[in-house]
Amino acid sequence: MVIQLREYTETARVLSPYKDFKEEEQVIHYREHPLTGEFSILPESLTTKRDLLYRKPNEAFLDEMIEKTSHSCFFCSDNLESSASKFPNSIFPEGRMKKGKSVQFPNLFSFTCYSSVIVFDPGTHFTKIGEFTPELIADALLNGIDYIKIVKNIDNTVNHACIGVNYLGTAGSSIFHPHAQVILSTLSFPYLEIISSKSKEFYEKHELNFWDELIKLEAKSERYIEQQGSFHWMVPYAPRGNYEIQGICEKKNLDSLNENDITALASEIVKILKLYAKMKRNAFNFILFFGPLAENQKYFNINFSILTRPNYNPGPTVNDTWFLPKFCYSYLIFHDPEKFARKIKKVFGIK
């Protein structure tokens, strides 16, 4: 097989106060990302720290915050018309883009030349993690893709795009009302550039598409979950975050995506969110990203990733983004990917 899955182990020795200062051995597993070479670190000893980081969600606190933030929310129907920005006539003369319940408008504080916000449902201030519907997700994604296509057609210097979600403050959201963001730029963000360029290198060296080969490899592994439409779902061999689930699309280019692809993607996202709710996780990030928009390329597949973040709770929260992922591009993982995949398949009813 052209793709190699590499794992390394080390052993730490500790005189633990929890064991009367007797020496104990702790095994640490390092998994190397098969494309980028980044490390996922899976220490066997971190169950206690995982429980600290992922304290069970306090539903009463969440309900209190839903009520408290609902009175002056910019994204709620009563305020959106007067508070949300509008697209220039050159992009969308009607000002805001709508699909189903979703409403899209420019990010008021732009951080790329084209960036927008998609409110899933202005009529509902907050949708809990287990209560999203496929229609709600699909309409927002289709709305975002429409925007990307509009920009692509009017500005050929823009070559990079992604759609992402920060759900709750512990996942980086500054506004409580659930929403997605679309980012387009003439410049590729470094990580997306790394995986895109390495995919191209792999293609030129082996005359094979890395992602197609990864699908074939993972389809034979415990980590493979299922195929829905054009997306293949799996737990990554080397996750970049806790309880990450990845969807790799068979399609390579944005223009080849159709509504059926997005409908299938949205249905799987909802299943995953219900799984997270069952696991007592209430915060997440996801990203849908594409290869270079201007190229009819064959080396990079459309990708989707979703992962959990520390639960949104009262009191101090331990952040899971620290110097190791920030500066060293290595990720501390509290779950065993194979065990997690088995759990997913059990919950999804897959044998």
Identify the residue with better confidence: 351 or 236: 236
Averaged pLDDT, 214-223? 98
Residues 122 and 15 in one domain: no
- Per residue in 166-202, pLDDT (tens digit) is 999 999 999 999 999 999 999 998 899 999 999 999 9
Residues 37 and 117 in one domain: no
Identify the residue with better confidence: 299 or 50: 299
pLDDT at 48 over 70: no
Q: Which of 34, 49, 64 is the last residue of a domain?
A: 49
Q: How many domains does the chain have?
A: 2
CA atoms of 14 and 20, how far apart (whole Å): 11
Average pLDDT over the chain, rounded to an integer: 95
Burial of 339 (0-12, 13-18, 19+ CB in 10 A): exposed
pLDDT at 53 over 90: no
Residue 203 lies in a domain: yes
pLDDT at 239 over 90: yes
Residue 332 lies in a domain: yes
- Per residue in 291-342, pLDDT (tens digit) is 999 889 999 999 999 999 999 999 877 788 889 888 888 999 999 999 999 9
Q: At what angle do helices 190-206 and 210-218 cross, to 10 degrees?
A: 90
Confidence of residue 37 (pLDDT cuts 50, 70, 90): very high
Residue 156 lies in a domain: yes
Residues 311 and 342 in one domain: yes
The CA-CA-CA angle for residues 299, 301, 303, to 5°, reads 145
Confidence of residue 52 (pLDDT cuts 50, 70, 90): low
Residue 18 lies in a domain: yes
The answer for residues whose C-beta is within 8 angstroms of residue 71's C-beta and 6 or more apart is none
Residues 69 and 188 in one domain: yes
- Percentage with pLDDT > 70 across the chain: 99
Residues 24 and 87 in one domain: no
Q: What is the pLDDT of residue 270?
A: 98
CA atoms of 288 and 275, how far apart (whole Å): 19
Q: What is the pLDDT of residue 27?
A: 94
CA atoms of 302 and 289, how far apart (whole Å): 6
| 215 contacts 34 by C-beta, under 8 angstroms | no
Residues 15 and 88 in one domain: no
pLDDT at 147 over 80: yes
CA atoms of 7 and 39, how far apart (whole Å): 9
Residue 37 lies in a domain: yes
State which H helix or E strand residue 324 sits in. Answer: helix 323-328
Residues 81 and 167 in one domain: yes
Residue 1 lies in a domain: no
pTM: 0.97
Averaged pLDDT, 10-37? 94
Residues 24 and 167 in one domain: no
Residues 92 and 125 in one domain: yes
Residues 192 and 292 in one domain: yes
Residue 11, domain extent: 6-49
Give me the CATH number covering residue 102: 3.30.428.10
Averaged pLDDT, 91-111? 96
Residues 42 and 167 in one domain: no
pLDDT at 50 over 80: no
Residue 225 lies in a domain: yes
Residues 151 and 299 in one domain: yes
